[in-house]
Amino acid sequence: MKPNLFIINNGQVIELDYIPGPDLGATPQGTINISYQKLVEILGQPNGEADGEVDAKWVVYTPRGIVVIQNWRDGKNFMGEKGLPIEKINHWKIKAHSENPIGWLSETLGVPVKKIGERVGFLRAIHNILH
């Protein structure tokens, strides 16, 4: 199979044997508190790929850029039987390539986004190291 070619900012060409998702490179921007049911009502069923740390993930194409909404290490995929059932998850991580889509997301969902920059600097540094 022929690898996929990507040109990155400095003009360097890299080869990948897979096509990365649109959320590749998205960084943590904040969190929201909203029910799973409300997210499904507004955005539809999760359309992102769940993994060992994520149970539900939405990749949303907004007029201001891509934003990712996902749980993180609190569901059954990571915690097993001690984890929350997906329908009980109310705290979600927000990732994006910039802050641009965050206002749109807050307006669309009707809930405020607690931005990472609103946290104490030390905690943000630890968060960046861990993620």
Q: What is the rounded average pLDDT for all residues in the chain? A: 84
Helix (H, G, I), strand (E, B) or coil at 24: coil
Amino acid at 90: N
Dihedral sign, Cα of residue 87, residue 91, residue 97, residue 101: positive
What's the CA gap between 58 and 14, in Å, rounded? 27
Residue at token pair 């769940």:
50
Q: What mean pLDDT do residues 78-103 have?
A: 95
Query: pLDDT class for 117, splitting at 50, 70, 90?
Result: low
Higher pLDDT, 49 or 14: 49
Tell me, what's the pLDDT at 119? 45
- DSSP E strands in 34-99: the ranges are 57-62, 65-70, 91-96
Model pTM above 0.85: no
